[in-house]
Amino acid sequence: MNRYKKFRITVALLLSLALFGLWTPAVLGATVKQVQEVRELLEEYHLSKPSNEDLSDSGIEAMVGSLNDPYTKYFDDEQWEAFNSSLEQTFVGVGIVMAEEQGTVYVEDVIPGSPAQLAGVQPGDALVEADGKSLKGKTTAQIQKVLLGVEGEEVALSVSRNGKALKFKIIRKSVQIPVVTIRMLDEGIGYLALSGFSSDAGKEVGRELAVLEKNGLTSLVLDLRNNGGGYVNAAQEIAGMFVKEGVLAHMRDRDGVDHPLTISGSVKPYPVIILVNGNSASASELLSGALQDYGVAKLVGTKTYGKGVVQSIIPVQSGGMLKVTIEEYYTPTGKKVDKVGLVPNLVLNGAAEQLIGAFRLAGGQKVTATSGKGVLTVNGVRIAQPNAAWKEKTVWYVNLKFASSLIDSKLLYNAKNHTLSLTKGAQVQTIKTNDSHIRMKDGQSYIDVRLLKKWFSNFTYSPVGDTIKFTAS
- Residue where one domain finishes, among candidates 151, 176, 201: 176
> Is residue 317 in a domain?
no
The pLDDT mean for the chain works out to 90
- Residue where one domain finishes, among candidates 176, 195, 210: 176
> Is residue 361 in a domain?
no
- What pLDDT is recorded for position 14? 60
Q: Tell me, yes or no, whether 401 and 295 share the same domain.
A: no
Tell me which of 102-116, 180-194, 220-234, 264-278 is least confident: 102-116
> Is residue 316 in a domain?
no
Q: Tell me, yes or no, whether 346 and 228 share the same domain.
A: yes
**pLDDT by residue (tens digit) across 123-158?**
889 999 999 999 999 999 899 999 998 999 999 999
Give the distance from CA 316 to its chain's centroid.
32
Mean pLDDT, rounded, for 417-428: 96
Q: What is the 3-state secondary structure (H, E, C) of the chain?
A: CHHHHHHCEEEEECCCHHHHCCCCCCCCCCCHHHHHHHHHHHHHHCCCCCCCCCCCCCCHHHHHHCCCCCCCEEECHHHHHHHHHHHCCEEEECCEEEEEECCEEEEEEECCCCHHHHHCCCCCCEEEEECCEECCCCCHHHHHHHHCCCCCCEEEEEEEECCEEEEEEEECEEEECCCEEEEEEECCEEEEEECCECCCHHHHHHHHHHHHHHCCCCEEEEECCCCCEEEHHHHHHHHCCCCCEEEEEEEECCCCCEEEEEEECCCCCCCEEEEECCCCCCHHHHHHHHHHHCCCEEEEECCCCCCCEEEEEEECCCCCEEEEEEEEEECCCCCECCCCCCCCCEECCCHHHHHHHHHHHCCCCCEEEEEECCEEEECCEEECCCCCEEEECCEEEEEHHHHHHHCCCEEEEECCCCEEEEEECCEEEEEECCCCCEEEECCEEEEEHHHHHHHCCCEEEEEECCEEEEEEC
Considering its fold, how many domains does the chain have in total? 4
> Is 50 exceeded by the pLDDT of residue 18?
no
pLDDT band at residue 58 under the 50/70/90 scheme: low
Express as a percent the part of the chain with pLDDT over 70: 93
- What pLDDT is recorded for position 301? 98
Nearest to 100 by CA among 351, 390, 374: 374
Express as a percent the part of the chain with pLDDT over 90: 74
- What pLDDT is recorded for position 412? 96
User: Distance between CA 427 and CA 420 in Å, rounded?
Assistant: 14
**pLDDT by residue (tens digit) across 300-335?**
999 999 999 999 999 998 889 999 999 999 999 999
Q: Tell me, yes or no, whether 345 and 374 share the same domain.
A: no
> Is residue 341 in a domain?
yes
- What pLDDT is recorded for position 1? 35
> Is 90 exceeded by the pLDDT of residue 380?
yes
Mean pLDDT, rounded, for 256-266: 95
Mean pLDDT, rounded, for 19-29: 39
> Is 60 exceeded by the pLDDT of residue 272?
yes
Q: Tell me, yes or no, whether 377 and 425 share the same domain.
A: yes
> Is 80 exceeded by the pLDDT of residue 95?
yes
Q: Tell me, yes or no, whether 128 and 170 share the same domain.
A: yes
Q: Tell me, yes or no, whether 228 and 341 share the same domain.
A: yes
Torsions phi, psi for 245 (to 5 deg): -155, 130
- What pLDDT is recorded for position 183? 96
> Is 60 exceeded by the pLDDT of residue 5?
no
Q: Tell me, yes or no, whether 375 and 428 share the same domain.
A: yes
pLDDT band at residue 81 under the 50/70/90 scheme: confident
> Is residue 288 in a domain?
yes
**pLDDT by residue (tens digit) across 149-162?**
899 999 999 999 98
Q: Tell me, yes or no, whether 264 and 289 share the same domain.
A: yes
- What pLDDT is recorded for position 21? 32
> Is residue 209 in a domain?
yes
Q: Tell me, yes or no, whether 184 and 230 share the same domain.
A: yes
Q: Tell me, yes or no, whether 30 and 146 share the same domain.
A: no
Instruction: For residue 220, give its domain range.
Output: 180-308+328-352
- What pLDDT is recorded for position 25? 42
Q: What is the value of pTM for the model shown?
A: 0.88
pLDDT band at residue 2 under the 50/70/90 scheme: very low
User: Distance between CA 270 and CA 217 in Å, rounded?
Assistant: 8
Q: Tell me, yes or no, whether 334 and 190 share the same domain.
A: yes
Q: Tell me, yes or no, whether 81 and 186 share the same domain.
A: no
- Residue where one domain finishes, among candidates 294, 317, 352: 352
> Is residue 318 in a domain?
no
Looking up residue 226, the CATH number of its domain turns out to be: 3.90.226.10
409, 422 in Cβ contact below 8 A?
Answer: yes
Mean pLDDT, rounded, for 82-102: 87
Burial of 6 (0-12, 13-18, 19+ CB in 10 A): exposed
